[in-house]
Amino acid sequence: MKKVCVVGLGYIGLPTSAIFANAGFEVVGVDVNEKVVQTLNTGEIHIEENGLPELFKKVVQEGKFRASLVPEKADVFIIAVPTPIHEDYTANIDYVVDATKSIVPYLEKGNVVIVESTIPPRTMDDVVAPIIREHGLDPEKDIYLAHCPERVLPGRILIELVENTRIVGGVTKEAAKKAADVYRAIVKGEVIETEAVTAEMSKLMENTFRDVNIALANELVKISQRIGVDAHKVIELANKHPRVNIHLPGPGVGGHCLAVDPYFIIEKAKEESPLIQTARRINNSMPYFVVEQIQRMTAELASPKVAIFGLTYKGNTDDVRESPAIKIYELLKQHSRFEVRAYDPHVKQEQVSFPLSTLEEAVHGAHLVVVLADHNEFKNMKAEDFAAMKTKVIFDTKNCVHLNDESITVYKIGNLYSVKAIQE
């Protein structure tokens, strides 16, 4: 196993390519975006991830990685393309289907084919395997076909690709073993072999567990506002119990995993998943809840100026996929009385469809700053950063702002019962 072809060069495919290349494999990365391919072949990257620019430049200069618009023959094929959802919340596996079809002309007997994309249960058996069979190869005898879902944290991807346990589900036992051996060449953590459908479900349940837990915390926020208690303090004290781990509340759930993966289970077993569906409804309601609080805070203002701080779904990344912050911005813009400005030091203008402001532009004359991402830049803000505000009020939905200045009022999302309308 000397050559790896990775299809999809986004937040997972690109770091995965870099790790394999750094381990000595010849890696060809495939993407449909010509601009991305051109950028990568210069040694530069198009995403933000700790440590990746340096590692990627190194493997390109060493000739271990090159990008292409089309696949090539290889020993191992890894599919790492997005799996979004349709408007009806069913899984959109078109990219996985297209990626599989793109590699079949290059497949040979004995190749290992791995899908890392998060997929609904039975996708490997019912969708991917038949595509390979239609091409004239037996996915149970000629090809080693497996699912190995990514399970990494943005900001720590290069570390966790190597250190985390990997679950490898094969269409056959032999496929699980062959695919697992591919990862054992780069992974220091445990590599566990299982069936494809079990691997599919394990990834979905990892993220569903977190989504349900966050929904519990977000429901607590709403209850706390009603009865007059600080949800953050409640969670802090409850978590001192050795068997309790309530997650943190926030403005909603975003990203390519938590906000999407539960629907893959719901789609396959709607009657059996009422708890998962309720959690999704709670978390999807949070942007509306945040906007309601902004309306409460600005009720006495004729033309409130609101500065949105943070557009990503997660702190210290540039990832805006499914971000509740984007939804909140759009909801505010629907109200003609609001003047809304958006600032995020990690997001580039081409990533969003509305104008971005600098820090100075966002706070100048603002009545309210709404913090929607826990970037380090926001955790380390000083009182002087808000000097140009008209009324110095901050609504911190991520519990990350730590200011000790009596001239600035900070409302936390877990402590909203004390909110008073802003007065000019």
As annotated, the active-site residues are 203, 257
State the DSSP H helix or E strand holding residue 359, giving kind and residue range, or none if neither.
helix 359-363
C-alpha span between 372 and 410 (Å, rounded): 14
Distance in angstroms between the alpha carbons of the first and the last residue of the chain: 68
C-alpha span between 271 and 4 (Å, rounded): 41
Helix residue ranges per DSSP H, 185-273: 196-227, 231-238, 261-268
C-alpha span between 369 and 422 (Å, rounded): 12
Sign of CA dihedral 219, 225, 227, 230: positive
Contacts of residue 115, defined as CB under 8 A and 6 or more positions apart, other chains included, come to 78, 79, 96, 100, 123, 124, 128, 146, 147, 148
Contact call for residues 357 and 388 (beta carbons, < 8 A) = no
- For residue 142, with 0-12 CB atoms within 10 Å meaning exposed, 13-18 middle and 19 or more buried, which class applies? middle
> Three-class SS string for 51-72?
CHHHHHHHHHHCCCEEEECCCC
How many other C-beta atoms lie within 10 A of the C-beta of residue 151?
18
* Residue where the block lists tokens 């720590």: 156
C-alpha span between 269 and 28 (Å, rounded): 38
Token pair in block for residue 111 = 């190749």
> Three-class SS string for 284-339?
HHHHHHHHHHHHHHCCCCCCCEEEEECCCCCCCCCCCCCCHHHHHHHHHHCCCCCE
C-alpha span between 187 and 192 (Å, rounded): 11
State the DSSP H helix or E strand holding residue 281, giving kind and residue range, or none if neither.
helix 274-297
C-alpha span between 324 and 326 (Å, rounded): 5
Half-sphere exposure for 234 (CA within 13 Å, toward CB): 22
Strand-pairing partners, residue 29, are 6, 67
